[in-house]
Amino acid sequence: MSLRQSASLIIFLMGGCMILSLLLTAYTNVSSTDKGSAPNATQPSVTAPQDLLTPGTLTVGSDTTYPPQEFIDTATGQATGFDIDLITAIAQRMGLKTTIVPAGFDTIIDSLNAKRFDVVISAVAISNERKQKADFVPYFNAGASLLVQKGNPRHITSTSDLCGLNVGVQKGTVEQDYLTTADKACKEKHKSAINLTILQNQTDVVQLLATGRVVATYQDSPVTDYYLQQNAGRFDVGGSVVNAVAEGMAIRKGDTSMFNAVQTALNQLKADGTYRKLFKKWGIMSGELPLNRPQGVTGVFRWDIFWQFLFSPFFLRAAWTTLWISVVAQFLGVVLGLFLALMRMSRSPMLNWPARAYIWFFRGSPLLVQVLVLFDGLPRLPQAFGLDPRLWQAFVLGPITVVLIAFSLNEGAYMAEIIRAGITSVDAGQMEAAKSLGMRYALAMRRIILPQAARVIVPPLGNEFNNMLKTTSIASVIGLLELTNTAQIFGSPTFTTFELLLVATLYYLLLTTVWSYVQAWIEKRLDPNRTNKLDLQKKGWTQRVLGFGAADTRGAGTLVSGH
Amino acid sequence: MTAVAENGQAATQHMVRAEQIVKRFGSLTILNGIDLSVKHGQVVVIIGPSGSGKTTLLRCINHLEKIDSGRIYVNGELVGYRLVKGRMVESSEADIARMRAKIGFVFQRFNLFPHLTVLENIIEAPVHVLGQSKTEAKEYATTLLGKVGLAEKAHVYPHKLSGGQQQRVAIARALAMKPKLMLFDEATSALDPELVGEVLKVMRQLAEEGMTMIVVTHEMGFAREVADHVIFMDKAIIVEQGPPEQIFSQAQNERTRDFLGMIHED
């Protein structure tokens, strides 16, 4: 490739980046769940804090898989629970509306510090370690307690009874730390280790107990009590509440105006009885349970839930999210892959080696890791390199931005190899013929080589897109409400994750099936010999969808004249 | 342009002028100091055994191959290089493309574009390289198709055509650029014997119209009848050259005689 070609290539790449960033800004603020304040809100009595992410709104981070404190109301799709009511009441005192942003618990404090939200309320137990990362306004006293099978057949009364047993716990909780300590104690006493199963969602942890995969789960005592009431006759509490600590609303260190406003509002709520009313409402003190409360573990397949969600707006929206993220990421991946392929095929080491390194890196590391690094790791970069830590705000990307960037970059590496194979499959005589007619490299590529390569590229590209539709589920780890995460979030409060994962599966199948028809149509369009006997039209749907029968493996080679 | 200034008369008299071309592939020397000159309207036929370097020589003339030393001028212009302070520096991609657009090249294996119809094959470069309007290009393409006897095949894809028909389309495609020089690289070698005649007929017709042509071929009959000048190459050099009657009847060199003897035995 000549210098001039390299220059135009760089310009193309820069243009691509600009389009990407435009797309990203357009879609960044879609994933939050709005929860407006009641219109008859009490007059603001507390000065609103400064520097809100969105003026007039308190943006709250919460891991909404933790009933009764925070979870998604399956009837409305909105976040609800004791914590949510409390923070909404606090915001009302400040004259603010509330937006709840779903977030993963294990990274929630980091996300707060990365200014993804103004405040966190998510049953966060105050520990010394956490106090180093954020300031806390205590609002809830909770200890840890063990949930066990009915009748406590293993006679578990404390964590020291857990040596050698299967135990479930939620990732990133203080209980996980307690269990790690208990495990060490087991080893010191030369007993077997505790076999821990650590999951993202508390409800999934309790599900482990319900299905007998673990003999005990360890969580905050209100949660233990809650599941006990929810599933009368199935569980028992093992031993008593230990390590009682306060849970706190987390506020960024140094954000004093926020700290004071939250503290003052909470004091007011305590003084006027609202705080106590909320306790009662959520049955945490009295045992009374509200309407619309989560159902217990029944072990029965809930067809009603299945049908209710099959055509619900939550899943339609999730399917749309899955679809458009896939389309955009695939498109950007193809564009990127094309440039990488051309660079990779260039004889110039200046172009060749960066492309090789890129492909090596992105094909060699897991997409999940790339997503997490962009989401959680990027904001820490300035600090890691000794720069002004305040710079990190520039590195905080929204979940959709992260997903689109990571997926496009990753896909680009795979598409590069696919496109390279496609270009290589075109007879070398084609480029010579084009050049001998006075065509320049770029024109010959565009008009002669790529249209022929396309026939070789499209079948694997179709595979890639099919994969992309399903790979979007990785976005669930950073809270994006695509199909898989929607199934998990809506399923967890009612123990119907299985039913909803089935719903999600049907949507995935719908998307991939429609795509297989689109792909067949594209392949047909690219075939210059449209009267071909192996016409795709004559392939039955079973053949196309289920992949029976030999694939159409004609390469471009046989279509090149003169062979 | 520099070339014209430097070489003045010598360069402009000839359509093609090659001086001391050396081409190597690694340690193998393919062309070892070739001198060649082709006048306007002349038909030069290059013959010789496989591996003698005749195809490579042809490919050097439109810079499909780089040369290691020597100079090639086409219509007075230095091909593929420009002189910077007396040193040969490869021309820009745009300059090379501009130069190639004036030279027609016909390949042994046709190299038609399989994703385009016959007509689209022919108008592709006139439209996208010369900037002709589609209507204009189609009109001329239709004329050319008539000339090569394939007017009714305009909307057919290449794989539906016989080898001879494909090669005639390839010739029409090259002619659509209105080249000043046509290079034929064993244009009939990939054809079934019964299809050779139709392609040679088109080439003969072109020669009669006064096109400057360099033809690499094994068709001795064609060389004898059509060539103004015949060059015999062997082992990277020009062994002997002259008018066809001289080469075919009174070859001076033993290698030439051996080669022609073998051909006639076939």
Read off the pLDDT of residues A83-130 as tens digits, 9 standing for 90 and up. 999 999 999 999 999 999 988 888 888 889 888 899 999 989 888 888
How far is it, in rounded angstroms, from Cα A269 to Cα A86? 9
| Residue of chain A whose alpha carbon sits nearest to that of B61 | A436
- Would you say A205 and A168 are in contact if contact means Cβ atoms under 8 Å apart? yes
| B100 neighbourhood in chain A, CB within 8 Å | 435-438
Q: What is the mean pLDDT of the segment spanning A17-21?
A: 48
B chain contacts of residue A447, beta-carbon cutoff 8 Å: 124, 128
> Min CA distance, B203 vs chain A (Å)?
18
Q: Which amino acid is located at A309 in the chain?
A: F
Which range among A12-16, A142-146, B171-175, B253-257 has the greatest average pLDDT? B171-175
Q: What is the pLDDT of residue A395?
A: 74
**pLDDT surpasses 70 at B153:** yes
Bridge partner residues of B216 (DSSP): B46, B185
pLDDT at A436: 97
d(CA A335, CA A329): 10
Identify the DSSP state of A54: B
- Asked whether residue B6 carries a pLDDT value surpassing 60, the answer given is no
DSSP structure class, residue A272: T
Sign of CA dihedral A393, A398, A404, A410: positive
Tell me the average pLDDT across B155-174: 95
* Local structure of residue A47 (DSSP, 8 states): P
pLDDT above 70 for B104: yes
In chain A, which residues have their Cβ closer than 8 Å to the Cβ of B124?
437, 447-448
Cα distances (angstroms) measured from residue B152 to each of A29, A469, B107, B156, B202: 60, 47, 23, 9, 17
Of the candidates A2, A432, A559, the beta carbon closest to that of B92 is on A2
> Cβ atoms within 10 A of the Cβ of A418, count?
22
A-B contacts at Cβ under 8 angstroms: 95
Give the C-alpha separation, A60 to A66, whole Å. 15
Give the least confident one: A36-50, B202-216, B242-256.
A36-50
Inspect the interface and report whether the beta carbons of A437 and B100 lie closer than 8 Å: yes
- Rounded distance, CA A229 to CA A204, Å? 17
Q: Of B58, B93, B134, B161, which to mutate for an interface test with A (greatest number of A Cβ within 10 Å)?
A: B93
Eight-class DSSP state of A61: E
**pLDDT for position A273:** 81
User: Rounded distance, CA A545 to CA A554, Å?
Assistant: 20
Strands (E), A187-323: 195-199, 216-220, 235-252
**CB-based contact (8 Å) between B156 and chain A?**
no
Mean pLDDT of A330-350: 95
- As a three-state string, the secondary structure of A64-121 is CEECCCEEECCCCCCEECHHHHHHHHHHHHCCCEEEEEECCHHHHHHHHHCCCCCEEE
Contact A451 B157 (CB under 8 A): no
Closest CA to A166 of A204, A192, A187, A185: A192
A521-537 pLDDT, tens digit per residue, is: 988 888 766 544 344 44
Q: Which of A300-309, B188-197, B209-218 has the lowest mean pLDDT?
A: A300-309
User: At B8, phi and psi to the nearest 5?
Assistant: 40, -120
Packing angle of the helix pair B118-128, B134-147 (nearest 10 deg): 130
Name the percent of chain B lying above pLDDT 70: 94
Which residues, 6 or more positions from A165, have their beta carbon under 8 angstroms from its beta carbon? Answer: A154, A156, A194, A195, A214, A215, A216
Decide if pLDDT at A369 tops 50: yes
Determine, for residues A528 and B114 on separate chains, whether the beta-carbon distance falls below 8 Å: yes
- Please say whether the beta carbons of B30 and B24 come within 8 A: yes
pLDDT band at A413; cut points 50, 70, 90? very high
Mean residue pLDDT across chain A: 81
Specify the amino acid at residue A243: N
Mean pLDDT of chain B: 91
Q: What is the pTM of this model?
A: 0.71
Tokens of A513: 């099936």
pLDDT number for residue A538: 47
Token digits of residue B185: 């690289």
DSSP tally for chain B: helices H, then strands E: 10, 12
* pLDDT for residue B205 is more than 80: yes
B32 has pLDDT over 90: yes
